[in-house]
Amino acid sequence: MARGSKLVAAAFLWLALITMPDWLNLIGSYPQLGTRIVILALAAMSLNFLLGFTGTLSFGHAAYFGLGAYGVGLTLKYLVPNTLIGMAVGVGAGLVAAAIIGALIVRLRGIYFAMVTIAFGQVFYFIAYRWNNVTGGDDGLSGWNRLPIHLGIATIDILGNERAMYYTALALFALAAALMALLLRSPFGRTLLAIRENERRARFLGIPVDRHIWMAWVISCTFAAVAGALYALLNNFADPHDLRWDQSGDFVIMAVLGGMRSFWGPLIGAAIFVALQDYLSTQTENWMSFIGVFFILVVLFFPRGVLGVIRRRSPT
């Protein structure tokens, strides 16, 4: 795409995001749906930092998403009644777990890597599921609330005002997206593309491939933890399902659906996924099978995802 049309598309995208609570109201929906889209989009974009731009498939990103969620929930419930500290704990937990687990698995490739990420993810799921008296087990972690964020000069009332919650999520989404975009345009980001394109060549250019994949992994998981923390705040609840492998699968579906070779693809994928889920789940209990069929059609006929189709149609 030409530079000019890219700018127009970006302006349009941000305008749509900034006005989302308003137009969602107009089409008869509700602002929390927008918040959920933005948060899950952040998780899918984090996953895609690794999948689409480093060429490494993780099927265990829900673990770090869930660590963010439980980190903020447990902190608010048991430790400190402060949303920012809770988020810091959640994101920190995701980061530390990713750094340790990443160091253990970074030498694996392809399907082996994906399988091991599932396995580690399930470990966290079972901890949350079994440790009843702390995590609430199967019922999830409830009995706590997000609290207004005090920033010294101002207070953001994310508790009483759904719009404040939306714009807080959008601000963090924007910050994370900007950081990821900046990284991908940097020499470091180009080494990740190099690894995706041809690992052997990358290695023989002198790139320590395992170390760079580890860094991409930690960055990716950390942003997934940010998304998870926001998700728990949105719901005032942390669900063991947030940690489970099928949640990881949802992130992969969102990324592939939207187009994993494009930076914004996963946002589109997440929007489609959440909107479909929201609509279909009021119609039928078997909503997931419809999403499944839709996913299969996209993969079969538009392997580059929804955004990939738009890209190809536009003159380059």
Partner 1 sequence: MLLQVDKVSKRFGDLIAVDGVSMSVAPGELRAVIGPNGAGKTTFFNLISGLFLPSSGRILFGGDDITRLLPARRVWRGIARTFQVTEVFPELTVLDNLRIAVEVASGYRLRPWLSRATKAAVRARVAELLETGGLIRIADRPVGELSHGDQRVAEVLMALALKPRLLLLDEPTAGMGDQETYEITRLINRLHKSDELAIVLIEHDMRVVFHLADRIMVLSEGALLAEGTPEEIARSERVQEAYLGKVA
List contacts with partner 1 (CB under 8 A).
182-183, 186-188, 190-191, 193-194, 197-198, 200-201, 203-209, 212
CB of 281 to partner 1, least distance (A): 38
CA dihedral (14, 20, 22, 24) positive or negative: positive
Choice between 155 and 186, CB closer to partner 1:
186
Choice between 36 and 304, CB closer to partner 1:
304
Choice between 21 and 55, CB closer to partner 1:
55
Number of H helices, E strands in the chain: 15, 2
Choice between 197 and 246, CB closer to partner 1:
197
How many residues make up the chain in this entry? Answer: 316
* Residue 49 vs residues 38, 112, 159, 231: alpha-carbon distances, Å: 16, 19, 31, 20
Residue 91: name the closest of 221, 226, 243, 214 by CA: 226
CB of 210 to partner 1, least distance (A): 10
SS (H, E, C) 183-238: HHCCHHHHHHHHHHHCHHHHHCCCCCHHHHHHHHHHHHHHHHHHHHHHHHHHHCCE
Question: Is 265 within 8 Å of 308 (Cβ atoms)?
Answer: yes
Q: H-helix or E-strand containing 155?
A: strand 155-156
Choice between 95 and 209, CB closer to partner 1:
209
| Cα–Cα dist 272/266, whole Å | 10
CB of 195 to partner 1, least distance (A): 9
Choice between 205 and 296, CB closer to partner 1:
205
Phi and psi torsions of 149, nearest 5°: -90, 120
CB of 168 to partner 1, least distance (A): 26
CB of 262 to partner 1, least distance (A): 13
Residue with tokens 């975009």: 181
Q: Interior CA angle at 135 toward 141 and 102, to 5°?
A: 105
Residue 192: name the closest of 52, 98, 59 by CA: 52
CB of 221 to partner 1, least distance (A): 18
Decide: helix, strand or coil at residue 156. Answer: strand
CB of 310 to partner 1, least distance (A): 18
Question: Is 222 within 8 Å of 72 (Cβ atoms)?
Answer: no
| Cα–Cα dist 170/150, whole Å | 18
Choice between 9 and 181, CB closer to partner 1:
181
CB of 259 to partner 1, least distance (A): 14
CB of 24 to partner 1, least distance (A): 35
Choice between 61 and 304, CB closer to partner 1:
304
Choice between 165 and 209, CB closer to partner 1:
209
Distance, CA of 103 to chain centre: 21
